[in-house]
Structure 1
Amino acid sequence: MSVLVAVLVVVAVVAWACSSGGSGPERTSNAQTSPSVTPSADPLLAGLRTLAMGTASPSPTPTTTPKATPAARPKRPGEPCAEEDLVLSLQGGKEQIYSGGARPTFMVTLVNTGPVMCTADVGPRAMEIRITSGADRIWSTADCVSGAGSEVKQLQRGVPYVRSLEWDRRRSSADCRATPPAALPGTYVTTVRMGGLHSTKGVFHLR
């Protein structure tokens, strides 16, 4: 029994020695290899650092102030009328039937809507009344005009210039024939032109 107890005591001592020796270096190794804990970044410092690095909003682009355009000088009374100030219209002959030799009649009006009185050439060349049938040019006031063919009128604001016309149912041409032929029965269209201005079309019929 004494021998058995002595053996057990020796075994216990050896086991304690092994466990003590192994645990010491292991704790040392863990202490040496464990990474050092770095303090977490402060959000406030990070924000100030970002602001210092130039992340502030860019300066606004300077805007250019448009230059004021000088106002157009007012028109002087008696100057030529501007086309945008004129209203050209045609009345009469629309969808009418002329039979038995009756002559078509038309009435042209020209109105100045500008701020002051102006002048316009209403002569037969400048203000042309034209009658066509399809692609056929039948008659025009610009054919066989004697003299200068110009007629300058003063147009007061809002006061229409009126011109009446009666067509003799004969054709016209630029060569001024002595006896122009008569227009045939059919459908005809009349318009008035004055520079860039055009009236609405008037349609009538000859029988």
Structure 2
Amino acid sequence: MKQARPTKTPLAEPTGACTPTGVDMAIDVADAKAGDTNVATFELTSLDTVACTLSITPSTLVVKVTSGSDTVWSSDDCPDALFAKQIVVRADPASHYQFTWNGKRSSDGCQPVVGEITPGGYWVEAALIGGEPHKAYFDLT
């Protein structure tokens, strides 16, 4: 006797644009190394609807890398580092957006800054404009 194949439940279709306060974000930075390009993965889930569309651009998302009170890198300095992307954000499963940090200090206009970033503890902080800030600690080895 043939067994019926389980059917996949289709993913929810977006019902409109996401609101900044209607998106939850968890941040993960894995295997960060001083002097290297490092990637932060933002896990996004919808809090308000089963699915919505989120437009990520430098005018909708702010990202910082900090150490204590020192802002090491900021998307305000280097907006082109934020890859523009349309994402369908669902309540389940989560959607993902990756931000790549060049491992260097930023300055106004994204001009090069003399000095190496040293190993130690850092934070990635991110917020959708109008939403709550989220942050994650990582060790730069």
Q: Same fold (TM over 0.5)?
A: yes
Residue equivalent to 1:203: 138
CA deviations over 1:150-205 (Å, ceiling 9, x no partner):
5443324423221223322211122232x333443143221221132222321323
Equivalent residue for 2:113, pick from 180, 200, 203:
180
Residue equivalent to 2:128: 194
Indicate if the aligned counterparts of 2:50 and 2:92 stay in contact, CA closer than 8 A: no
Gaps of 5+ in 1: 1-76
Indicate if the aligned counterparts of 2:123 and 2:135 stay in contact, CA closer than 8 A: no
Aligned pair in 2 of structure 1 residues 117, 187: CA closer, same or farther (>3 Å)? Answer: closer
Residue equivalent to 1:82: 19
Equivalent residue for 2:42, pick from 108, 127, 132:
108
After TM superposition, the structure 1 = structure 2 runs for residues 29-178 of structure 1, keeping only pairs within 5 Å, are 77-93=14-30, 98=33, 101-146=35-80, 151-177=85-111
| In 1, Cα distance between equivalents of 2:105 and 2:42 | 20
CA deviations over 1:64-104 (Å, ceiling 9, x no partner):
xxxxxxxxxxxxx54222344321110124xx6635x4443
Indicate if the aligned counterparts of 2:127 and 2:133 stay in contact, CA closer than 8 A: yes
Aligned pair in 2 of structure 1 residues 189, 155: CA closer, same or farther (>3 Å)? Answer: closer
Q: 3-state SS of the aligned residue for 1:192? A: strand
| In 2, Cα distance between equivalents of 1:181 and 1:190 | 21
Gaps of 5+ in 2: 1-13
Number of aligned residue pairs: 124
| In 1, Cα distance between equivalents of 2:109 and 2:96 | 29
CA deviations over 1:100-148 (Å, ceiling 9, x no partner):
x4443321111113334322222234222210122221112343335xx
Q: Return the TM-score normalized by structure 1.
A: 0.49
Indicate if the aligned counterparts of 1:78 and 1:154 stay in contact, CA closer than 8 A: no
| In 2, Cα distance between equivalents of 1:79 and 1:97 | 36
| In 1, Cα distance between equivalents of 2:33 and 2:50 | 41
Aligned pair in 2 of structure 1 residues 163, 115: CA closer, same or farther (>3 Å)? Answer: closer
Larger C-alpha radius of gyration, 1 or 2? Answer: 1
Aligned pair in 2 of structure 1 residues 89, 166: CA closer, same or farther (>3 Å)? Answer: same
| In 1, Cα distance between equivalents of 2:79 and 2:124 | 19
Residue equivalent to 1:67: none
Which amino acid is the alignment partner of residue 19 of structure 2? Answer: A
Query: How many percent of aligned residue pairs carry the same amino acid?
Result: 19
